[in-house]
Amino acid sequence: MRLGDFSAHVVVEGEELNEYELTVNSSGTQATCWIGSEAGKKFSVIWKRHSPEGPASEARLTVDGIGCVCKALHETSRTGAKNLSKMIRGTKDRDLMFCDLQLSDDEALLGKSVPSHLGEITLRVVRGSISYRRGKAKAPGTALTSHANIYHEKSVKKLTTHCVGFGPERERNCPAWTWRLKKNQDPPLEFFFKYRPIGKRHCTSTSSYHPF
């Protein structure tokens, strides 16, 4: 998907996933599409600025409503693309992957609410100016997030049977510098990837559907 000078795509095993039913809002600040997911497959989001120069920018990746990672591009970044493929907490990270959601027919779970962002990968881009300071990331205070909740199968059957899971926790090489972005007046740009298992159908009307 592309909004102005920026694009974003979900990649699995080096290949961009097909994007279905792409829509862009009237102001050109939000793009939405559907993609097919396959349990056990790692994925990443490739974020790119297509001009060699422009305002500094920062992209934040959220999966199923869980914040994962933030990356930035300089005003004159020679590398105009970033790969967001991990959940990062301080000095540790975990790979992102599609997983089977834990479902049950236990009637006691029928009233349990399902997160509104389940089945959604979001990339939010803001623009402005970046300042840097020396200092490495601190160790996380708690364990990295993982999906431990179980939902009733009737509660999610119209949504998805997949979620985003996380690979084994590992130490990472932390950069010696951190940054802070001061936003300018440009509105944020948001890319929404709604994922569903391959083989399922997302219906938009009685006569319009696509099989994943």
Strands in the chain per DSSP E: 2-3, 6-12, 15-16, 20-24, 30-37, 44-49, 56-63, 66-73, 81-84, 86-89, 92-100, 103-104, 120-134, 151-152, 162-166, 170-171, 177-183, 189-197, 201-205, 208-211
* Residue 161, pLDDT score: 76
pTM, two decimal places: 0.84
- Distance CA(69)–CA(46), nearest Å, equals 13
* Residue 97, pLDDT score: 94
Q: Is the dihedral angle over the CA atoms 178, 58, 34, 7 positive or is it negative?
A: negative
> What is the distance between the terminal CA atoms of the chain, rounded to a whole angstrom?
18
Query: Phi and psi of 107, rounded to 5°?
Result: -60, -25
Cβ atoms of 116 and 171 closer than 8 Å = no
3-state secondary structure of 108: helix
- 117-136 core/surface letters (b: 16 or more CB in 10 A; e: else): ebbbbbbbbbbbebeeeeee
Could you list the pLDDT tens digit for every one of the 212 residues in the chain?
999 999 999 999 999 999 999 999 999 999 999 999 999 999 999 999 988 778 899 999 999 988 999 999 888 766 678 999 999 887 889 999 998 887 767 776 676 676 778 889 999 999 999 887 776 555 554 555 555 567 666 666 666 778 888 888 888 877 766 778 899 999 999 999 999 887 665 534 333 445 54
* Residue 204, pLDDT score: 41
Q: Burial level of 182, CB count in 10 A (0-12/13-18/19+)?
A: exposed
* Residue 200, pLDDT score: 60
Query: Phi and psi of 35, rounded to 5°?
Result: -135, 160
* Residue 101, pLDDT score: 80
